[in-house]
Amino acid sequence: MPRTELDYGQRLEHLSILDERGAVDDALDPGFANDELLRLYRAMVLTRQLDIRMLRMQRQGQMGTFAPGRGQEATQIGSIRALRKSDWYWPSYRSFGAQMWRGWTVEGLMLLWDGYFAGFEIPEGTNELPFSIIVGGHIAPATGIAMACRYEGTDEVVLTNFGDGATSQGDFAEAVNFAGVYKSPIVYLCENNQWAISTPFEKQTASKSIAHRALGFGVEGIQVDGNDILAVSVAVEEAVARARAGEGPTVIEALTYRMDVHTTADDPTVYRKDDEVERWEAKDPIIRFEKYLRDRGALDDAAIEAIESEERARVDAGRKLFDELKQKDYREVFDYVYATLPPELQEQRADYFAKLDRAGL
Ligand SMILES: Cc1ncc(C[n+]2csc(CCOP(=O)(O)OP(=O)(O)O)c2C)c(N)n1
């Protein structure tokens, strides 16, 4: 047998529509109406405002451990906009912007991140699940939901997102392989933010990109500039349409960057360089989108200021409600996981309650 080149039967694309200075490629511009563009912009601003606030609250001892997503707003809002309410969304823990788009409230997310059970309530009328803390643990069950949609003959699709680190879990390979064979209606969105805590992307895989991995599973794959909301919007919309039409799954790799700490329990200064962060600071997805909106005449200084202060006020109002809704009963921490508490936890509960009694709480 001679040596011949293998034909994958598909090629990979990288999609970028807004360049780093916010200049648009006219041929690729999806041409969204101004009100749609401003709705996306406002959602990105709200996401940023909540992010800043929760980080500050955590530093003041008023919030639990929290995973900020500054820098990833374009990926989150650009992707979630493609879903219908009846579609299924299974997020990762850094996806609160997308969750708010689906109806999660500011106060609900604050309750959730501060560890209150009430925060896990799914918004009425949407099909989705609370985020998965177990890295990659939701990718296979999300694929199961997609299969259920197929078996039941609905035209619902599933969107699930996760980080680059999650693609090294077996779950990712098993799920995408299965979905490829059975043409599950699902979109796998990998937010490649370059770091999985302290593991840099080059240590995550020897593959050139996450999008390349789609080739091995025989499914559609595309890489997009994840800080370009137009590129993310177009790629996810196409993938959702393909899934809905019965044409199977897509792996989308959104190249972005985690600007802040992995979680508030992390200190990235011990493993990454300031100049790398500065380079990405210049690619800020909100500033880039602002430039595009200004060029279209859809936004000016006054509108930017107004939107920012309105969304900050929304966060303020949520914060106020959060303070009111917080259950002050510290004893519920042992509820809700087990129907019958195992003996060792019963013992811990007794110790803990005794401590609370002594502290008069
Ligand atoms: C199965 C499992 N292993 C380890 C962890 C601890 N952990 C939490 S987040 C994380 C890194 C995940 O990185 P990535 O998937 O790239 O997502 P990102 O946090 O960057 O959004 C690890 C190892 C976990 N939560 N679950």
Res. 8: pLDDT tops 80: no
* Ligand 1 atom having least distance to the Cα of 93: 21
Is residue 205 assigned to a domain?
yes
- CA–CA dist 243, 175 (Å, integer): 15
Mind telling me the catalytic residues? 258, 262, 271
Contact 194, 164 (CB under 8 A): yes
**Top mutation candidate among 92, 135, 271, 272 for ligand 1, by most atoms within 8 Å of CB:** 135
Give residues (CB < 6 A) around ligand 1: 92, 94, 133-135, 162-166, 193, 195-197, 258, 262
- In this predicted structure, the answer to whether residue 11 has a pLDDT above a threshold of 90 is no
The pLDDT assigned to 1 comes to 67
pTM for this predicted structure: 0.93
Share above pLDDT 90 across residues of the chain, in percent, rounded to a whole number = 88
Within a domain: 301: yes
Residue 92 covered by a domain: yes
Q: Domains in the chain: how many in total?
A: 1
Does 352 fall in a domain? no
Q: For residue range 75-109, what is the model confidence (pLDDT) as tens digits?
A: 999 999 999 999 999 999 999 999 999 999 999 99
pLDDT at 327 over 80: no
Cβ(15)–Cβ(222) below 8 Å: yes
pLDDT above 90 for 9: no
Cα–ligand 1 centroid distance for 219 (angstroms): 25
Domain contains 54: yes
Choice among 16-30, 79-93, 315-329 with the minimum mean pLDDT: 315-329
Do 254 and 189 touch, CB atoms closer than 8 A?
A: yes
Residue 7: the pLDDT is 78
Average pLDDT over residues 245-266: 97
Question: What is the CA(337)–ligand 1 centre distance, in A?
Answer: 22
Q: Which residues touch 274 (CB under 8 Å, ≥6 apart)?
A: none
Domain that holds residue 306: 13-327
What atom of ligand 1 comes closest to residue 92's alpha carbon? Answer: 21
Cβ contacts of residue 306 below 8 Å, gap of 6+? none
361 within a domain of the structure (yes/no): no
Pairing of the two strands 127-128 and 199-200: unpaired
Residue 96 covered by a domain: yes
Q: What's the 166 CA to ligand 1 centre distance in angstroms?
A: 7
- Does residue 340 sit within a domain? no
Predicted confidence band of residue 6 (pLDDT cuts 50, 70, 90): confident
The CA 140 to ligand 1 mean position distance, Å, reads: 16
pLDDT tens track for 350-360: 999 999 999 98
pLDDT in tens, 100-144: 999 999 999 999 999 888 888 899 889 989 999 999 999 999 999
Q: Is 160 helix (H, G, I), strand (E, B) or coil?
A: strand
Mean pLDDT (whole number) for 157-186: 98
Give me the CATH number covering residue 305. Answer: 3.40.50.970
